[in-house]
Amino acid sequence: MVFDMPACSGCGNCAMACSFHHKGEFSPAMAAISILEKEDGRGFLISFAEENEGKKIACTGCRECVGQCHPSEELADLIKEFVRRRKERG
């Protein structure tokens, strides 16, 4: 699931924190969160994995990434919305 995050600088700290917390490695390729380039506008797109796919894990909503994010309140809100939408879909 992809969300717009205008305040994101694209630093990748969230993905590093996620992969280390869940896999014990600093590997964005394993993280449940990904930072994607936008074609226009401020910030980046944030993608939360809904399912395990290869080495990439599904987002559990644990919020480990939030502590490593400068605009942490915005990221926390996106995670809440992700979890809400995932529950609605069943």
Domain coordinates in residue numbering, the chain: 2-89
DSSP assignment letter at 57: P
CA dist., res. 13 & res. 34, Å (int): 10
How many CB atoms neighbour CB 7 within 10 A? 14
pTM of the predicted protein model: 0.89
Name, in order, each residue with C-beta under 8 angstroms of 24's C-beta and a sequence gap of 6 or more: none
The pLDDT value recorded for residue 34 is: 97
pLDDT value at residue 89: 86
Going from the C-alpha of 26 to that of each of 12, 19, 39, 71, 79, the distances in angstroms are: 11, 6, 27, 21, 21
Class of domain 2-89: alpha beta
